[in-house]
Amino acid sequence: MSLKRALLATTLLAAPTLASAQPVSGLYIGVGAGGNWINNPSKFDISGNTVTGNFGLPENVRVDNVGKANFEFGWGGVVSIGWGFGNGFRAELEGNFRENEVDSIRGFGLAPVGRTGGFQRTYGAMVNVFYDFDLANFGLGQSIFQPYVGIGAGYAWTDWQNLRGQSANGLVIHSNDDDGQFAYQAIVGVATPLTWVGVRGLTLTAEYRFFGTLQPELFTTVSTPAGAIVRAGRIEADNYNHSVMLGLRYALFQPPPPPPPVVAQPVAPAPAPARTYLVFFDWDRADLTSRAREIIGEAATNSRRVQTTRIEVAGHADRSGTPQYNQRLSQRRADAVANELVARGIGRNEISVTAFGESRPLVPTADGVREPQNRRVEFVLR
């Protein structure tokens, strides 16, 4: 087998390890997790009643209804179940969760706010639609990477868990409420199959998600250190999230992959059938007759036509002499044929010469019998 064919066979045998990404077909499940950050600052707008009375506050302290908050880098996760249509399109149901701790609160006419704490948690359910790109359709050939895009819509709850802060003048802002609103998202990702772990249908994903909701309304109070409420109402807060996630997707009930293509092995040509020639000699002679030369000439011509690799020449004698004499006589006869072949253009290195004397008669006879058919040279083209 040539080097080129050997390299091709090696590539095809390695193909299952580096399988190209394929469109999802049928039922699949997925999980993902990663970092999440909220657009900072997140704007608040408090609407509600101002409680009358100064509650021991300076006369110049006034609580506004507009504020902002910054959140620390947090985390998020998703789980999903979906269906691939085999043409690049997928649809799925998703559950999601995100959590970020508050970092700072400012505004509301308060002095700088410190001693902040609490979390914003968002969780919900979405319906997503995806399209997986086949790079081969863009002339890029088969690839182990498959980019995809998606959009989603659903419903999500924003939960402020003990969100709080205390200003330098003693006022405390606090919220421990949740509210559900319409949610939406856009997704960009890339997938690559993990066939090398031996699980068919398992795929690694990496993606960016923008996730937002309509403004949730969360009940919030501003109170004195003694607990007297100065202002109370519902804050309408922005909720825009950016997430980067790694995930796993597992397509269930995938059909077995097609068998690797069989590399056709080069078929060696069948060896040409051996052709045997006979030339006969007069009694006690080793010179070639004219008929013998014709036969040897025909054999030489045929050897070039069928690309003979070697010619085996074997000399024989009848039993009319002593075995020792007949051995030498058969050798001279074989040499005579070999020399004639060389004269006809056959290389001497292509010819093997053997003498059998009277040990292999063509016609069995008693000792001392002159048998013309035993006075011969057989030569075979191989």
* Number of structural domains the chain divides into: 2
Judged by average pLDDT, the poorest of 120-129, 280-289, 308-317 is 308-317
334 lies in which domain range?
275-381
Q: Is residue 10 assigned to a domain?
A: no
Separation of alpha carbons 150 and 89, rounded Å: 10
* CATH value at residue 357: 3.30.1330.60
Average pLDDT of the residues in 205-223? 93
Is the previous residue joined to 193 through a cis bond, with omega within 30 degrees of 0? no
* CATH value at residue 204: 2.40.160.20
- pLDDT on residue 55: 39
Top pLDDT among 319 and 232 is at 319
Estimate the share of the chain in helix, then strand, then coil, as percent rounded to the nearest 5: 15, 50, 35
Same domain, 247 and 300: no
Q: Residue 49 pLDDT > 70, yes or no?
A: no
Separation of alpha carbons 103 and 335, rounded Å: 107
Same domain, 218 and 353: no
Same domain, 32 and 180: yes
Top pLDDT among 253 and 318 is at 318
Q: Each residue of 289-300: pLDDT tens digit?
A: 889 999 988 888
User: Are 164 and 172 a contacting pair, CB within 8 Å?
Assistant: yes
Q: Is residue 229 assigned to a domain?
A: yes
Nearest to 127 by CA among 175, 50, 206, 183: 183
Q: Is residue 307 assigned to a domain?
A: yes
Same domain, 194 and 288: no
Same domain, 129 and 179: yes
Quickly list DSSP for 48-72: EEEPPS-TT--TT----SEEEEEE-
Same domain, 96 and 63: yes
102: which strand partners? 71
Q: Is residue 9 assigned to a domain?
A: no
Same domain, 90 and 239: yes
Same domain, 90 and 203: yes
Q: Is residue 156 assigned to a domain?
A: yes
Separation of alpha carbons 168 and 376, rounded Å: 128
Same domain, 309 and 176: no
Q: Is 350 exposed, middle or buried (0-12, 13-18, 19+ CB in 10 A)?
A: middle
220: which strand partners? 175, 233
Same domain, 203 and 298: no
Q: Each residue of 96-145: pLDDT tens digit?
A: 999 999 988 887 767 778 888 999 999 999 999 999 998 877 777 677 88
Same domain, 123 and 163: yes
Same domain, 201 and 304: no
Q: Find the farthest-apart pair of alpha carbons in the chain and give their distance in angstroms, rounded.
A: 153
Q: Is residue 334 assigned to a domain?
A: yes
Q: Is residue 306 assigned to a domain?
A: yes
User: Are 144 and 199 a contacting pair, CB within 8 Å?
Assistant: no
